[in-house]
A and B are shown apart, each in its own frame.
Chain A
Amino acid sequence: EAQVTQNPRYLITVTGKKLTVTCSQNMNHEYMSWYRQDPGLGLRQIYYSMNVEVTDKGDVPEGYKVSRKEKRNFPLILESPSPNQTSLYFCASRRGGANVLTFGAGSRLTVL
């Protein structure tokens, strides 16, 4: 089944403890992206990647890192999480040249 898989789905952590949210897609998509969703603010893009080894900042990149060493994987790294990074995170992918995104199921992160 074509899908985007995120892990973990739920995580409670403490301030300053490094964490990684993994994202993997099995559709051979070139483009991948991370969003955060907060009440009343809709979806805000954190980082995106047009292809392997190509990443760029979205609208809210502060406090996050990403890497794209393989086409299928696009992990989101929080080096020193803070409470304002408590949010619902979505990974998404699409074919190069297409606009339509396929989303993962989401990862709900709470930073205490």
Chain B
Amino acid sequence: GQQVMQIPQYQHVQEGEDFTTYCNSSTTLSNIQWYKQRPGGHPVFLIQLVKSGEVKKQKRLTFQFGEAKKNSSLHITATQTTDVGTYFCAEGSNYQLIWGAGTKLIIKP
């Protein structure tokens, strides 16, 4: 069935460094959503991308949807301790979301 591959599984960064997570699919995605889960918390919706080549920004977060709608990325500029958590991508349909495995952002002490 449809799969969304998300890499990397973990990323360790120094505070102030950038962070990027990628989602890829072998088939065309109808849309892509991004969620953030803080440690001990629940997933919280960040954004949805629908159009080919779409780019959206939320402060230091930049979300991109590929031209072929087969990949997406989330880039965080100058990470802060408040960015710590796991970031998930998911493709939505009427029935269910197909989730990536998540990328855990860890800030090195």
B78 contacts the other chain (Cβ, under 8 Å)?
A: no
A33-B96, A43-B99, A48-B96 given; A101·B42 CB < 8 A: no
Cα separation A73 to B28 with both chains bound (whole Å): 34
A99 contacts the other chain (Cβ, under 8 Å)?
A: yes
Nearest-Cβ distance from residue A45 to partner chain B, whole angstroms: 6
CB pair A43–B96 under 8 Å, yes or no, is no
Cα separation A105 to B101 with both chains bound (whole Å): 19
A103 proximity list for chain B (CB < 8 A): 42-44
1/0 per position for A25-55, CB-CB distance to B under 8 A? 0000000010000001111110010100000
Cα separation A48 to B94 with both chains bound (whole Å): 11
Cα separation A33 to B95 with both chains bound (whole Å): 10
B94 proximity list for chain A (CB < 8 A): 50, 97
Residues of B participating in the A interface, judged by any CB pair closer than 8 Å:
6, 9, 31, 33, 35, 41-45, 48, 88, 92-97, 99-102
* Residue in B closest to A104 when the chains form the complex, CB atoms: B42
Residues of A participating in the B interface, judged by any CB pair closer than 8 Å:
33, 40-45, 48, 50, 56, 58, 90, 97, 99-106
A-B contact pairs, 27 of them (CB 8 A): A33-B96, A42-B6, A42-B88, A42-B100, A42-B101, A43-B99, A44-B99, A45-B97, A48-B95, A50-B95, A56-B95, A58-B96, A90-B43, A97-B94, A99-B48, A99-B92, A100-B33, A100-B45, A100-B48, A101-B35, A101-B45, A102-B45, A103-B44, A105-B41, A105-B42, A106-B41, A106-B42
* Residue in A closest to B95 when the chains form the complex, CB atoms: A48
A99-B31, A99-B33, A100-B33 given; A41·B101 CB < 8 A: yes
Selected contact of A43 from candidates B43, B45, B95, CB within 8 Å: B43
A48 proximity list for chain B (CB < 8 A): 95-96
